[in-house]
Structure 1
Amino acid sequence: MIMAYEDQSAFDSRDDPARAGDYWASWSGYIAALEHSGVLQSAGGLTAPQVATSVRLRDGQRLVQDGPFAETKEQLGGYFVIDVADLDEALQWAARCPSAAYAGVEVRPMLPPPTA
């Protein structure tokens, strides 16, 4: 899985008419390249972290907090599940991800489905 992180400026770009065109063009090109190569299995974008809700269970009590739980400069903005031969190929795709240029991209293998 390729997890694309974004800073607040990138989240703000999504809705700013002056910047949205460039923002979405970079992502559209990346997604098209993933699709064209045949490696893309699934993908999804996430809303801005300000509308997130975090849930924790402590001593049997559910604790709900508006917004992201962690105060960080970068938050998860979306993900791409790809099917590639090895980590090197995954890293090549991650380096092409638009957020690699201004925030961060994490590559992590997915667990196989549990056996019955």
Structure 2
Amino acid sequence: MKYLCLVYYNETHQVELDDAHCMHYAGGLVERGLMLAGNALQPVATATTVRLRDGQVQVTDGPFAETREQLAGFYLIDAQHLDQAIEIAAGIPPARVGSIEIRPIRDLHP
């Protein structure tokens, strides 16, 4: 089953995280056939939020809502079950300073 692991942490913790460690962990998941895609995101200040209300497009600079932790990246994984997804998410380096939200992918069939 495919899961999206959303990486959240307070951007002030970025200096505590080693990009090489994150890349090494992701590389190991790829080698094991568990990671399908992933990327880090630019800082939340670069975000743009788009809404469609009453037929009008509304564009706002910044994230949807102010929070203590920001969405920093994602890992798209293919795990056998939720327990394996939890094990993988626990190993994602930013889990030490933030949180990893695991969401099952919902297949859309026309």
Normalising by structure 1, we get a TM-score of: 0.83
For the aligned residues, what is the CA RMSD? 1.5
Residue in 2 aligned with 1:114? 109
Q: Does 1:88 align with 2:83?
A: yes
Unaligned runs of 5+ in 2: none
Deviation, 1:104, is: 0.7
Q: Distance in 1 between matches of 2:37 and 2:73?
A: 11
Which of residues 37, 57, 61 in structure 2 aligns to 1:66? 61
Which of residues 4, 9, 13 in structure 2 aligns to 1:10? 13
Higher normalized helix content (fraction of residues):
1
Deviation, 1:36, is: 2.0
Count of residue pairs brought into register by the alignment: 107
Higher normalized strand content (fraction of residues):
2
Q: Distance in 2 between matches of 1:10 and 1:64?
A: 28
What percentage of aligned pairs have identical amino acids? Answer: 36
Residues 37-71 of structure 1 show CA distances to partners (whole Å, capped at 9, x for unaligned) of: 11111112211110100011222221111111200
Deviating runs (4+, > 3 A) in structure 1?
none
